[in-house]
Amino acid sequence: MTEETLPPPDDSSPGRPANQAARMPGWLPRAMVLALALVACFRLATWAFDQLTGLLLNILIAFFLGLAVEPAVDRMAARGVRRGVATALVFLGILISVAGFFALLGSMLADQIVKMVEDFPKYLDQLIRWANETFHTDLSRVQIQDSLLHSDWLQKYAKDSADNVLDVSTAVLGGLFQVLTVTLFAFYFAADGPRLRRALCSVLPPHRQTEVLRAWEIAVAKTGGYLYSRGLMALISGVAHYVLLQCLGVPYAPALAVWVGLISQFIPTIGTYLAGALPMLIAFTVDPWYSVWVFGFVVVYQQFENYLLQPRITAKTVDIHPAVAFGSVIAGTALLGAVGALIAIPATATLQAFLGVYIKRYEVTDDPRVRGGAKRERGDSTLTRLRGALSRRG
Identify the burial level of 72 via C-beta atoms within 10 angstroms of its C-beta, where 0-12 means exposed, 13-18 middle and 19 or more buried: middle
- pLDDT of 43 reads 92
Contact predicate 154/148, CB 8 Å: yes
pLDDT tens for residues 283-294?
A: 887 888 888 999
pLDDT at 319 > cutoff 70: no
Identify the burial level of 120 via C-beta atoms within 10 angstroms of its C-beta, where 0-12 means exposed, 13-18 middle and 19 or more buried: exposed
Nearest in space to 248 (alpha carbons), one of 215, 279, 274, 278: 279
The 8-class DSSP code of residue 13 comes to: S
Under the banding of pLDDT at 50, 70 and 90, the label for residue 1 is very low
Q: Write down the pTM of the prediction.
A: 0.65
Highest mean pLDDT among 167-176, 180-189, 373-382: 180-189
Identify the burial level of 250 via C-beta atoms within 10 angstroms of its C-beta, where 0-12 means exposed, 13-18 middle and 19 or more buried: buried
Q: What is the dihedral of CA 215, 348, 270, 54, to 10 degrees?
A: -50
DSSP for 133-199 reads HHH-----HHHHHHHHHT-HHHHHHHHHHHHTHHHHHHHHHHHHHHHHHHHHHHHHHHHTHHHHHHH
The C-alpha atoms of residue 102 and residue 216 are separated, in whole angstroms, by: 33
Q: Is 199 left (phi over 0), alpha (psi -120 to 50) or beta?
A: alpha
The CA distances from residue 212 to 61, 196, 200, 207, 307, in Å, are 20, 12, 9, 9, 36
Give me the mean pLDDT over the 80-98 stretch: 90
The C-alpha atoms of residue 80 and residue 88 are separated, in whole angstroms, by: 15
pLDDT tens for residues 94-104?
A: 889 888 877 87
Phi, psi (5° rounding) for residue 91? -70, -30
Under the banding of pLDDT at 50, 70 and 90, the label for residue 124 is confident
Give the relative orientation of helices 53-78 and 206-248 as an angle to the nearest 10 degrees.
Answer: 90
Under the banding of pLDDT at 50, 70 and 90, the label for residue 386 is low
- pLDDT of 138 reads 81
Give me the mean pLDDT over the 176-183 stretch: 87
DSSP for 246-280 reads HHHT-SSHHHHHHHHHHHHHHSTTTHHHHHHHHHH
Residues 6+ apart with CB under 8 A from 88: 187
More confident residue, 63 or 162: 63
pLDDT at 364 > cutoff 90: no
The C-alpha atoms of residue 108 and residue 282 are separated, in whole angstroms, by: 10
Under the banding of pLDDT at 50, 70 and 90, the label for residue 87 is very high
pLDDT tens for residues 7-17?
A: 555 555 555 55
Helix or strand or coil: residue 283?
helix
pLDDT tens for residues 201-241?
A: 888 888 888 888 888 887 787 777 778 888 888 889 989 99
% of the chain exceeding 90 in pLDDT: 11
Mean of the per-residue pLDDT values of the chain = 78
Under the banding of pLDDT at 50, 70 and 90, the label for residue 379 is very low
The C-alpha atoms of residue 198 and residue 180 are separated, in whole angstroms, by: 26
pLDDT at 349 > cutoff 80: no
Give me the mean pLDDT over the 256-274 stretch: 80
Give me the mean pLDDT over the 120-135 stretch: 80
- pLDDT of 21 reads 47
The C-alpha atoms of residue 336 and residue 8 are separated, in whole angstroms, by: 67
- pLDDT of 38 reads 93
More confident residue, 59 or 19: 59
Residues 6+ apart with CB under 8 A from 287: 248
The C-alpha atoms of residue 91 and residue 106 are separated, in whole angstroms, by: 22
% of the chain exceeding 70 in pLDDT: 77
Under the banding of pLDDT at 50, 70 and 90, the label for residue 382 is low
- pLDDT of 222 reads 78
- pLDDT of 47 reads 92
